[in-house]
Amino acid sequence: MLEIRNLVKNYGKFQALKGINLHIERGEIFGFIGPNGAGKTTTMRIVCGLLQATAGEVYVDGIDALNEPNRIKRKVGYVPDFFGVYDNLKVMEYMNFFASMYGYRPKEVSESIHGLLELVNLADKENAYVDGLSRGMKQRLCVARALIHDPELLVLDEPASGLDPRARYELKEILKNLGDMGKTIIISSHILPELSEMCTSIGVMEKGNLIMSGNVEEIMQRSKGVAPLHIEVVKNEETAVRMLKECPAAEKVSIRDNNIVVTFDGDDLAVADLIRQLVEQEVGICKVFREKGNLESVFLEITEHVQEGGKVQ
């Protein structure tokens, strides 16, 4: 659905994007993570045909975004990180205004606009003034607006910033619904946990480089490799502890009640092998479980490496 190749953007002498490569499949919810100034907004605006790139290639559904920005605007809906001021405009008028920008006549789209306002839970606000809406409502209105022309790709720049937990939850539900409807979604944030549960893939940007990207499950799998292992022992605990301390893949062995907790660098097969060895030495094991992979710990690990000067693939 989206293909970015060697994308470069210079603002004068400053290089904001240093050659980005990214591939997003249709129907994915892609989370774009990175600190302030990483280049998220720059990338998103180029993808939406709103900003000229310096070099590289961008294709949305096969259409060349850099050379055919007008065709791209039909394919893409953009929710900017900044909501403009709309004095004296009611919700319905606001929607009609944007519909007319896409060349629709109000009568033609009134039904679909009602539908969109329902989708974002603003059906009862049709006659309310836009400026009088809460921030969360404005954000949802922005999502409805971006969907007027039924785009295949929806790009949202930090839609959750400034929202309270309830509003964040509602926004997430709306985005999940859109994902179920088959839209491809790109959503940026500084905060990883906010994205991890709703995204199918993520990309981490830092200083104009995409330092990591991929399927959330694969990344979680990677984090599983270092997730703590809990082994509940009812017989020969000392033997178990001694063996674990001698095991090269095990680190930080600690005991809580009858539970041995060990940081174990290995996959499920390695865990099975470890258990077999323990049982062979008459260790009585009644329970084993692995902590769930934690995306955040992987993220921290990756950004740490980058701060040390390396580029992680």
Ligand X SMILES: Nc1ncnc2c1ncn2[C@@H]1O[C@H](COP(=O)(O)OP(=O)(O)OP(=O)(O)O)[C@@H](O)[C@H]1O
The site for ligand X (CB under 6 A) is made up of 11, 14, 16, 34, 36-42, 190
Report the SS3 class of residue 240.
helix
**For residue 246, how many other CB atoms are within 10 A of its CB?**
9
Closer by beta carbon to Mg ion, 53 or else 117: 53
Whole-number minimum distance, CB 147 to ligand X, in Å?
22
176 in the Ramachandran plot: left (φ > 0), alpha (ψ -120 to 50) or beta? alpha
Whole-number minimum distance, CB 116 to ligand X, in Å?
26
Whole-number minimum distance, CB 191 to ligand X, in Å?
11
Whole-number minimum distance, CB 93 to Mg ion, in Å?
29
Q: Which does 82 bind (CB under 5 to 8 A by kind): Mg ion, ligand X, none?
A: none
Whole-number minimum distance, CB 81 to Mg ion, in Å?
5
CB-count burial class (<10 Å; 0-12, 13-18, 19+) for 187: buried
Q: Which does 266 bind (CB under 5 to 8 A by kind): Mg ion, ligand X, none?
A: none
Closer by beta carbon to ligand X, 11 or else 169: 11
The two tokens of residue 210 are 């995409």
- Chain position whose Cβ is nearest to Mg ion: 41
Cα 136 from Cα 83, distance rounded (Å): 11
Closer by beta carbon to ligand X, 71 or else 190: 190
Closer by beta carbon to ligand X, 36 or else 70: 36
Q: Which does 99 bind (CB under 5 to 8 A by kind): Mg ion, ligand X, none?
A: none
Closer by beta carbon to Mg ion, 40 or else 73: 40
The two tokens of residue 144 are 């409805």
Cα 89 from Cα 57, distance rounded (Å): 39
Alpha helical stretches, state H, 85-191: 91-101, 106-119, 135-146, 165-180
Cα 220 from Cα 33, distance rounded (Å): 16
Closer by beta carbon to Mg ion, 16 or else 109: 16
Q: In sequence order, what DSSP letters do the residues of 146-164 get, joined into one string?
A: HTTT--SEEEESSTTTT--
**For residue 207, how many other CB atoms are within 10 A of its CB?**
15
Q: Which does 39 bind (CB under 5 to 8 A by kind): ligand X, Mg ion, none?
A: ligand X
For 3, phi and psi rounded to 5 degrees? Answer: -130, 120
Q: Which does 36 bind (CB under 5 to 8 A by kind): ligand X, Mg ion, none?
A: ligand X
Closer by beta carbon to ligand X, 160 or else 247: 160
Question: CA separation (Å) from 268 to 160, 223, 273, 283, 294?
Answer: 36, 13, 9, 20, 16
Q: Sketch the per residue contact string, 110 through 149, with Mg ion: x for CB under 5 A, - otherwise.
A: ----------------------------------------
The only residue of 41, 184, 209, 223 in contact with Mg ion, by rule CB under 5 A: 41
Q: Which does 179 bind (CB under 5 to 8 A by kind): ligand X, Mg ion, none?
A: none
Query: Which residues are at the interface with Mg ion (CB under 5 A)?
Result: 40-41
